[in-house]
Each structure stands twice: as structure tokens, then as C-alpha cells.
Chain A
Amino acid sequence: MGREKEKEKPSEKALNLLRSRLSDPNFIFRSLSDSPDSNYSKLKFLISTSVTEACNNSILLLGPRGSGKVACLKLQSHNASKYIRIHILCFLILYCLRLLMQIRLNGLLHSDDNCALKEIARQLCMEHQLLFSKVASFDDNSQFMIAMLRECGLAHKTIIFVLDEFDFFAQGKQRLLYSLLDAMQSVNSQAVVIGVSCRLDVDQLLEKRVRSRFSHRKLLFLSPSKEDTERFMEHILSLPMDSSLPHNYAAEFNGRLKKILSDERFKELIDTYLSFNFTIGHLVRFLFQAVSYMDLNAGFLSLGNFKAALSSNQRQPKLECIRDCSVLELYMMVCMKRLEVKEQTSYNFCSVMTEYKSIHDSFQTSDYYAANVCLRAFEHLLQCQLINFIDNKGHNQSVEFRPVKLLISSAELHQGLKSYQQCPAILLKLMDR
């Protein structure tokens, strides 16, 4: 397959387009941000008032992961300048590009106060072409930040602090949050602090001194309604008619897509998926999978693609693990289950071995192996996390003696045994008792 030939294929081009759309949050959330009462417009209003009225503000964006909190912000910063240009007095236009600056922190990376302030200083220095010193202390950095806030306030510049994974900043002494919010109280500055978190109770984590300085604005991000979802999927998946793609192809693609989207079976499928993963992020991931299953030779999406994506998402990892086990490992698990039924609260390899031996003695099974082979099977079970050590202490104790517990229920084990092809009949019998 020459690469030149591949490039000519419209289906490949379409696939590329769809994939880059799905991984571009700006494109995804644009369709959802149109309505006037959306979170997006509320946020836009908040930021624009703080720009025009030169005041400080703080807000929390809360919602499950993948519901578009950060994307909303990103969209915001792209469009804020445009918004100002239209609605605010003309003299601002000249400055509008430089009027807003964004400082982004992520709780996963900067939960340490020192580190966070350093990052703020670094981003401020980058923005204003100042020299950033790596060795500056916490005090230096916080003084620098306050001075910068004052300067920016004087120049009518708004700094937006975006604190992603806000709950991580609320751990420990919360020095960063305090110094940030305190600076906004006392200094004549112009800043917005936006916290983003997937914990709904995050404002309860704040200390008293921090909470009192925080404006208790919250924006909740909910999952989209059914109509929104449908509109959204059509927006994402349909091909543009005015691009370099052949017109006929795009038209047929869209026609077929519409047919799929209106299909009852498809709606049912999406409902099952959304019933356990309901955020936009999950939906996008699902669509991505379906799109990448698209048959390039046919060049069109089919219902089968979506079905395949759904089935790859509905996995039962524990049952898969059982299917990967050997017969000997099944024996070990059944022995453990029997010990549990006998109300023996804790067991280790040695007690499992005695049970195994007693099973062999009473039923004369063909699968009786030496202790070392069984130990190896036992370790394999540990490795694939079907069983686990009860406690973390006793590291110098060898594996045989450390107590373990089974991580699957007896119903799961039973189901796994039933679906196992070469499962010895004796095991099922033992489980039934």
C-alpha cells in the first residue's frame, strides 16, 4: 500500500477528520455552549463583569469528570476577547488581547504550595518577559505574585487563575489558596480564581479563613439531556459538505448517519451506554471507538461499529481473568471458596493446600500436583489480582504463610466455572455444596 494512494481515499480523510474532531475539546463543546442559560454563558458573564468593573471574583466549577468543565474554560478564554470587542467600549479593543491573562495550575502537579507558587511565578514571568529564577523561595515568589497582582490591577489587566483538580489544593495547610484569596481581598487588584473539581463537596474542605474569603459561587455541570445528546452526536459525526471531501461521498455519509441515528436499536444502544457512563467525555470516547472501527473500504459508519464499541466497553474483567486461569488455578480458587463456606475467616496458602489435599483424597481427582507447582499457580492468582493479601505487614514472612482473601464473589466464580470449557465437573459439584 503506497502512502500516496491512501491519501486519495475519501474515507481515510473522513476518518482523520472525525478523529481529530473527537479529540478537540473546543469543537466538541461549542455545540453545547450555544444556549443562553448554559454554564458557559454564565461564566462568560462573570468574567466579563470582572473585567469591565475591575473587581475580583472567585467561582467553583463542579461536575463529574469529563463533563466539560475545563473545556468550557478554554472556550471562554478563546472567546472572551471577542466578547469584549463587541460589547465593551471601543477603547478596550486595542488592549483586548492583552487584557486577560490566564494562569493554569493542576492539583495533580502543583498540590505542593511551594511548587504551585513557583509555577505561578514562572507563568507570570513567561507572560511578561521577565527573568524567572528557579531558586526563589516561597516568600520571594508570593511577594512577587502580590506585586504582579497590584501592577496588573493598576494596568486594568485581569488575571484568571484556573485551579484544576481544586480538591488537591484544599489538602494540607491551604497556604496557596489563602495567600491568593487574601491578596484579592486587600489589594486593589483584578483577578478571578476559578476552581475546577469533580468533588461536589469541595467547598466543605476549605479552612475557615479561606472559606470566608471565597465567594460562594458554584456552577454545577450536569449531564446533557437526551435531545442535547442526539444533537451533539449529529454535530460531531456528520461530515461538512463544503470541504475538500467529495460532495457525493459526504452527502451519502451524512444520509446513512441520519438513518443510524434515528434507528430504534441505536437509541437503545446509546441508552445502555449512557446509563453507566453519562458524561460527555465518556460519550466522546465511545464515539471515538466506534469511529475507529469504521470499515475503510466501505467508508461509512454502520450500526455494527457502535455495537462493537459497546461490547468492548462492557467487559467483565474478573470473568476474563477466570477464563485465563488454568485448571489448577481453578482448583485453588474453589478450595478457598470452600474454606470461606466453612466459615474459616482467614486462610493462607498452607491451609488452602490442606483443603486441596483433602479434596484429592476424597475424590481422587486427576489434577493433583506438587506443592511448588501449586504455589506458582497461587502466585499467578495473586498477580492477576483474583486474590490479595489481607494486610500489608509481614513482608519478611514468605508468601505461603501470609493470609489472603478472594476478590471475587461465589456467584462470579460459579459463572466463570460454567463458562470455562475444560472445567472439571467435580469443581462445579464442589461449588454447589
Chain B
Amino acid sequence: MAMEESPQVTRRATRSYSASNTAIESTNPPESYKPTINDLGFRQQPLRLEDLLSSFPGRRSQILELLRLLGPLNSPMFPILVYGGPSTGKTSVTLQVFRHLNRPFIYSSCITCYSPRILFESILNQLLFHRKDSGHSYSSVKRCERPSDFVNYLREALENVITNLKGNSGKVSSKMSGRPDGTMVYLVFDNLERVRDWDKSSTILPFLFNLNDILKMPEVGLIFISNTSPDTYYLNIGYVEPIPLYFPDYTEDDLRHIFMANQTNSRLYASFLDVVLRPFCRVTRQVDELAAAFSSLFKKYSEPLSDKEVAPNEEMKRRLFSHIRPHIASALNETFQVRSQPLLKADTNQETKKTNSSRMPGIREDFDKIDFHMSTSAKYLLISAFLASRNPATLDASLFDSTGVSDSRKRKRKASEKSMDQKEMAEQELLMKGPGTFPLERLLAIFQCITSLAEDSLDEEESHELTVEGGSRGLMSDVLLQLSSLCNANFIIKGGSCPLEGSTRYRTAVSEDLALKVARSLKFPLSKYLYRR
């Protein structure tokens, strides 16, 4: 993880990906390529130890310990559990260590293998040198769903591979032919914590942890990589735990080394890091998040400079610092949405942007304006949904009466005097419950009320000729269509149906800030209609 882009380069999603990434693809069409035993190695020039250590700053002791636990050539090993927070270099270090050792290994990630069957079949495919292609309609080499079948196939396949490797180790020139060294085969299971999510019957985790005992093959090494510490894998059947190997988060100094690598103007970047690294480290120490934030900030930092190659002196540093300071404060509060900013709107980031926006619509409201397009009626619908889930249903009548607004104010005054405790309790309850649910009818009633109100106010004022509002009938048209599109955009969540009424209930995830912003863009007096306890 030395360079910002190295995870993408070195981390292999699947073996076929790596195979096609090396020289093979350019020379022959993928169909004619048959994986061989050579593919169990890393298929790149083995790294020297010094290069390995220097490419992972701050990971020296972990690399050395991993090497020690793997041991010299052909020596059996105990299962290892590599763990540490996200983006601490667990996977990259493990894979690069195998590149350094040039030993055969099988990599499978429990993110891409999201069910037992896919996990088992991907391992078997790699071991049996099988590649999915159109010739056999992308089927796997063996169909196996149960752990029992898997163990039988796995044992068979491993025995084949190991005899193959043993035959090969006799030859002297094994290094020249690019063949992997040794007769040990290592199985690497990445992202083990995901298994807890997809393994509903919770049989796979005990199985994987006991795989070493079940197989009883000294030529097989198991390496598990996990985000969470071993104590979170509590199994009620117990197991002899794998040897833990902890990857701590990078310290500030390590981060400095990491970010200094591969910079064209290192002096300038160093002065930049002096300014930004400390405040950002208080929020997060994850390399991937920091890298995203820094890349745009550095552009801003070096903006005043005409010559990007110049080495800054003290006076210039000060000038640059005063230039960047306001940006740091704002960037700190946006650390995690940098990817959806227009700066990075390049096509490379489109899918991340999509996932961001679909996941948390209520989170991204911090811009001055709403950064998405919405029809007026959709905005009104959103506001009415917000009102419906915030206000208690019993108060609708009084709130949307012509006199209702003042009514609610009176009520508030009365209540606040007396029982502070009760109020506090109610507040807590509200926080805990989150937004309430509402049926479709209520939403539509509120929608009609506020649209008619808005038109009334417009008529009275007669100030602007707003063309958007084309009469209540125009706004009411295809409101159900709007509703479904709001549901799809995750602004409104379709909940379960009410057991008594049997109709679907809705809820909105929109935060108050966003609702206020939408209301402001419509010049709608939202705060008047919000019931405050």
C-alpha cells in the first residue's frame, strides 16, 4: 500500500484476472489459454526482500513475522489469522510476500465469493486449473455445495497438485521456467468477516477454522485475513485458534512515508503534509480515505503556484498555508464525500458515486444548494413525506387548518412550562424511534394541503409569475409515479404493511436540513408546519 494506486494494481481479485493481466492476454486470445501449475505462483518477477520491505513503510515487523511463520521452503505451518483495520495493507502484504517467496497459493475473497458454493467452486477451479469460458457455458469444474463434497474434492485436487509440484521440484532449472517453488500449497481466505453475514446456518466458519484438522495434510497452509479481531469470531463449538498476526493502523509518521512516495515535487508535498496531516489524522487514519481527501486538497494547495516544480521557502509556505486554511476546515467536514464532489466527477468514480448516493441520501445535504434535479411536484411530495413522518398524525387537522399554525404555537407554550422531564423523555424517544411511518392516504392529503396553500399564497401576493406551478391539477398529476421514483431513489422507504390495516406504510430517511433546503428552494414555509415538542 505504498502508493496510492498500488492496491488496485497488486491486489488480484481473481486468478483469472491476474492471468489475463500479465503477458498472456496480449499475445493469445483468452480461449486458447490454459492455466497450468505455474499459475499458482504470483506470475511476476519475484521481489527481493529489501524491495518488499521498502514498498510497505511501517509494516516491517509484520512482514518479517509473516515470513517467519510461513517458514523456510517446504516446511509445514499452522493456520494464521491476519487481522487489522481496513486499509492497513493486510491483503497486499500477504500477496506480495508470496510474490517474494514465489510459492504456490490460492486466493479467494469472501466478498466475491458470497455463498459457500461459490467459495468452494472458486477454490476448486483454481486448484484444478479450470477456467470458466464459453466453451462449457461458464460452468465450474465441479458442482459442490456441501462442505463434505468440498473436502473430498479438495483433498483429491490438492494431492494432484502436490505430486505435480514434487515432480517439478526435482528439476534444477525451476526458477528459470517461472514455476513456483516448494511443495507447499497455501490457501488464502480474504475478508473472512464477511462469512458471518452470508453464512446463515453458521456452519462455514467452524468448518473453515477446523479445515486444517479435517484435511490433515501437512503440505497445506491456511491463511485467513480479517478486518476484525479474533475475539469477534466466537464459535460455540470452540477451535484451536489460528496464530494471530496483528496489523495496527498506520501511525502519523507511517502515513507521511506512504504519502511521500511517488511525489514529483517532494518538498512541496512535504510542506503540504505538514499542514494537513495532523488535523485529518484526528478524524481518520485510513489510507484510502485520506488519499481521496488529499488529492483534491493538494490541487487547491498548489493552485497559487505557477511553477509546480519549485521548492517552497519559508515565506511561500506561509502564504500557501493561509491560502489553504479555509479549505482544510471545510474539507474536514466533507472528508467522506469527496468522491461525490464535482472535482472528482470524472467517469472513473461513477459507480462509487452511485453507491454513495443510493445509500445515504440524507447524509449529503451539506451543500449550499441541492445538487440534484427534482421536479417541483417531487419536491412538494418530499416535503409532505417529511412532514408526515415528523408530525404526529393527530395534529394534522389543526396544523393544516387555516388557523392551525397559531394553534400549535399555543400548545407548545403551555407544555414547555410544566414538565421538562417528560419533554426530555419524549425527545429521547423520538430520537430512538426515528422517523415515523405513514400510510399513502395521509401523504396525499398533506401533499394536497401544502400545494393548495402554496398556490393560495402565490395568488395573494401576485408578485412573481412562477411558471412551474401549473394549478393544483397539474401538480397532482402522476403523483404516484413521482412517489415510486422517490422510493427508488431511497428518499422514501417503503416499509412493511401495517398488520391491522393491511396497507403499505412509508417512511422517509430525509434529514431535517435537506428538507429545509428543499423547502427554501420552493419558498415554502416549512418550519411553520413542523410540530416541535
Interface residues, chain A, with chain B CB atoms under 8 Å away = 3, 6, 12, 15-16, 19-20, 22-25, 64-66, 70, 106, 108-110, 112, 115, 119, 122, 165, 167, 198, 279, 281-282, 285, 288-289, 292-293, 296, 312-313, 315, 317-318, 320-321, 323-324, 326-328, 344, 346-348, 350-351, 354, 367, 369-373, 375-377, 380, 383-385, 396-398, 400-401, 403, 422
What is the 8 Å Cβ interface bit string for chain B, positions 76-87, against chain A (1 contact, 0 not)? Answer: 111000001110
Minimal beta-carbon separation of A59 from chain B (angstroms): 21
User: Which A residues are in CB contact (< 8 Å) with B75?
Assistant: 15-16, 19-20
Q: Mask for B170-207, Cβ within 8 A of A = 1, else 0? A: 00000100000100000000000000000000010011
How distant is the Cα of A23 from the Cα of B213 in the complex, in angstroms? Answer: 10
Q: Which of B36-44, B52-60, B111-119, B429-437 forms part of the interface with chain A?
A: B429-437
Answer yes or no: B493 CB below 8 A from chain A CBs: yes
Of residues A108, A281, A315, A327, which shows the largest number of chain B Cβ atoms within 10 Å of its Cβ?
A108
Q: Which residues of A contact B495 (CB under 8 A)?
A: 396
Additional A-B contact list (7), CB under 8 Å, known A108-B210, A373-B334: A16-B75, A165-B237, A292-B77, A318-B229, A354-B431, A373-B333, A422-B282
Report B288 CB to chain A, min CB distance, Å: 12
Contact A384 B227 (CB under 8 A): yes
A109-B151, A320-B246 are contacts. A293–B240 as well, Cβ < 8 Å? no
Give the shortest distance, in Å, between A431 (CB) and chain B (any CB). 18
Is there contact, CB below 8 Å, between B239 and A373?
no
| B432–A370 touching, CB < 8 Å | no
The residues of B that contact A371 with a CB separation of less than 8 Å are 363, 511
- A318→B146 CA distance, assembly (Å): 35
A183 CA to B77 CA in the complex, in Å?
42
| B contact face: mostly helix, strand, loop, or mixed | loop
B490: nearest chain-A partner, CB-CB: A398
Q: What would be 13 A-B contacts, judged by CB atoms less than 8 Å apart?
A: A16-B74, A106-B214, A109-B151, A109-B207, A282-B240, A312-B243, A348-B432, A371-B363, A373-B335, A373-B336, A384-B85, A385-B232, A396-B493
A317 to B240, CA, bound (A): 17
Least Cβ–Cβ distance between A147 and chain B, in angstroms: 23
Taking A16-B71, A370-B366 as contacts, is the C-beta distance between A109 and B147 under 8 angstroms?
A: yes
B231 on the interface (CB 8 Å rule)? yes
Q: Tell me whether B229 and A321 are in contact (CB under 8 A).
A: yes
Is B282 a contact partner of A328 (Cβ separation < 8 A)? yes
Cα separation A295 to B229 with both chains bound (whole Å): 28
Does B362 reach chain A (CB closer than 8 Å)?
Answer: yes
Chain B positions near chain A (C-beta within 8 angstroms): 68-69, 71-78, 84-86, 146-148, 151-152, 175, 181, 203, 206-207, 210, 213-214, 216, 218, 227-232, 237-240, 243-244, 246, 248-249, 281-285, 332-337, 360, 362-364, 366, 428, 431-435, 493, 495-496, 509, 511
Summarize A's interface: helix, strand, loop or mixed.
helix
CB pair A15 B431 closer than 8 Å: no
- Whether A326 contacts B432 by the Cβ 8 Å rule is no
Q: Is A376's CB under 8 angstroms from B336's CB? A: yes
Do B73 and A315 touch across chains, with their CB atoms under 8 A apart?
no
**B229–A317 contact, CB under 8 A?**
yes
Q: Are A320 and B248 in contact (CB under 8 A)?
A: yes
Q: Are A367 and B336 closer than 8 Å at their CB atoms?
A: no
Task: Please name all residues of chain B whose beta carbon is closer than 8 Å to the beta carbon of A19 when the two chains form the complex.
Answer: 71, 75-77
Chain B residue nearest to A2 in the complex (CB): B175
The 3 closest A-B CB pairs, nearest first, are: A401-B434, A317-B229, A370-B333
Q: Are A6 and B72 in contact (CB under 8 A)?
A: yes
Q: Which residues of B contact A380 (CB under 8 A)?
A: 85-86, 284
Q: Are A327 and B282 in contact (CB under 8 A)?
A: yes
Decide yes or no: A20 and B218 within 8 Å by CB, A6-B73, A324-B249, A372-B336 being known contacts. Answer: yes
Q: A313 CA to B332 CA in the complex, in Å? A: 38
Residues of B within 8 A of A383 (CB): 86, 227-228
Residue among B76, B85, B509 making CB contact with A398, cutoff 8 Å: B509
Determine the distance from Cα of A305 to Cα of B85 in the docked complex, in whole angstroms.
27
Contact check, B146 vs A115: say whether CB atoms are below 8 A apart: yes
Which residues on A sit within 8 Å (CB–CB) of B333?
Answer: 369-370, 372-373
- Inter-subunit contact B240/A401 (CB<8 Å): no
> What residues of chain A lie closer than 8 Å to B72, measured between beta carbons?
6, 12, 15-16, 296
Residue with the highest number of chain B CB atoms closer than 10 Å, among A115, A326, A354:
A326
CA distance A282 to B240 in the complex (A): 7
Nearest A residue to B282, CB-CB: A327
Task: Say whether B85 contacts A350, CB under 8 Å.
Answer: no
The smallest beta-carbon distance between A117 and chain B, in angstroms, is 11
B243-A384 in contact (CB<8A): no
